Structures are given as structure tokens and as C-alpha cells.
Amino acid sequence: MRIVFIGPPGAGKGTQSVLLTELLDIPHLSTGNMLREAVEHRTTVGRLAAEFMQSGRLVPDPFVVQIVGERLQQPDCEGGCLFDGFPRTLGQARSLDEYLTAAGTPLDAALELRVDEELLVNRLLGRGREDDSIDTIRRRFRDYVTMTTPLLDYYQSTGLLRTIDGSGTTNEVFKRIREAIGK
Ligand code: ADP
């Protein structure tokens, strides 16, 4: 299966990604990790991406699309993959669709892990990390909503969006994800 996984910071997407990639036996494609690796290895894309990442801006679509396209050609992606942190823009979503459709392996689902802002604030404050102040959490959440709303509308319009209730225990959430993808 080819799945796009969308969720706000702190919603448990990391934990659920591990469970899901193990269940489906597919690689976990995190563009954040892939870009950091490219920067570290000073590849062409890495050198171009570095300044954007350092200033906390999105890396321009063509670079991100190129790095994902290269990764998708690796043999371990033949049976599917989980996209995490990608697509982040409508342009990326459209490019991904074009790429996968041309390859005859379209996306199966876009999973949205939905967590209410108040629940997220309570969960993250409970974690007690220093960068988890209420203001920071709320700002990150609002940025996430602004950034992902167009993507959610897009996947709604293509019929791929599955919204998962992210409240409750890890197992409860994972069960909902399995139901949503029929596994
Ligand atoms: P975070 O959740 O802190 O944004 P990520 O690891 O997902 O962390 O991404 C780190 C950085 O890599 C981002 O701030 C951005 O500069 C870049 N990046 C990652 N994924 C994308 C993407 N799909 N499009 C553009 N830039 C991206």
C-alpha cells in the first residue's frame, strides 16, 4: 500500500508510523530525514536545501519532489511505502499523484490523524519538555492547520482522505487506522 500520513506535532504520528510500517512491511519515507541526510552528504539537493531548512522554511517543491522521486526508485519501495512529512504543499501532492499514476501505483489512502487542540496541549504539557510551552504548542498547531487544510481538501476531493480520531490509547488509535485501511 501507498499511504500519505498527515497529523499535527504531538499527535502520536511517530508511534503510529512505526506500527503501520511494521504491519504492512513497507518503508517509512520521512522527507525531513531524507533532506537531513542529503544535507549531511552534501548532495546537490542537500546543498540547495540547507539554507531553507536552517531558517525553518519549506524547501522548494522541485528539490523535495526530486529527492522523493529518487527514493521511490529504490527496490524496497516496490511494495508500497508510508509518506511522512510529505506532501506539505498542493504542488507536492499533485506531483506525487502524477508520479505514482504514471508508474501505475497510485496512492491508496491519505490518513489524517485528527487531534483536538486542547487534547494536544494537555498531552504535550504532560510530557514536560522545555520546548513544549503552551504558546509554542498552540502556534505549532495553528501553523499545522493553516498548512494542511488545502491538502486535506485536496485528498477529500480525490476520495482518498480517511480521518482517524487520534484520542485514546496507542492501541485504540492503531485499531482505528487498521479499520480505515481495511487491514
Ligand atoms: P518538522 O516537523 O520540525 O518540520 P521535519 O523533519 O518534517 O520536521 O522537516 C524538517 C525540515 O525539512 C522542514 O522544516 C523543512 O525545511 C524541510 N522539509 C521536510 N519535509 C518537507 C517537505 N515535504 N516540503 C518542504 N520542506 C520540507
Looking at residue 10, its pLDDT comes to 86
6-19 residue pLDDT tens: 999 889 999 999 99
Q: How far is the CA of 102 from the centre of ligand 1 (A)?
A: 26
pLDDT at 26 over 80: yes
Give catalytic status of residue 139 as yes or no. no
The mean per-residue pLDDT over the stretch 37-53 comes to: 96
pLDDT at 38 over 90: yes
pLDDT at 21 over 70: yes
Looking at residue 137, its pLDDT comes to 86
Check if the beta carbon of residue 173 is closer than 8 Å to that of residue 112: no
Looking at residue 12, its pLDDT comes to 92
Question: With bands split at pLDDT 50, 70 and 90, how would you rate the model's confidence at 50?
Answer: very high
Nearest residue to 67 (alpha-carbon basis) of 53, 161, 20, 56: 53
Q: Of all protein residues, whose CA lies closest to atom 9 belonging to ligand 1? A: 32
3-state secondary structure of 30: strand
The mean per-residue pLDDT over the stretch 25-52 comes to: 97
pLDDT at 45 over 70: yes
Looking at residue 98, its pLDDT comes to 97
The mean per-residue pLDDT over the stretch 75-95 comes to: 97
Instruction: Give the predicted TM-score (pTM) of the model.
Output: 0.93
**What CATH number has the domain spanning 2-177?**
3.40.50.300
Give catalytic status of residue 2 as yes or no. no
The mean per-residue pLDDT over the stretch 50-67 comes to: 95
Looking at residue 130, its pLDDT comes to 67
Which DSSP category does 77 fall into? G
Residue 140: is it exposed, middle or buried by C-beta count within 10 angstroms (0-12/13-18/19+)? Answer: middle
Query: 131 vs 79, which has greater pLDDT?
Result: 79
**Side chain identity at residue 134, one-letter code:** I
Instruction: Give yes or no for residue 56 CB within 6 A of ligand 1.
Output: yes
The mean per-residue pLDDT over the stretch 98-127 comes to: 93
Give catalytic status of residue 42 as yes or no. no
Residues 6+ apart with CB under 8 A from 116: 167
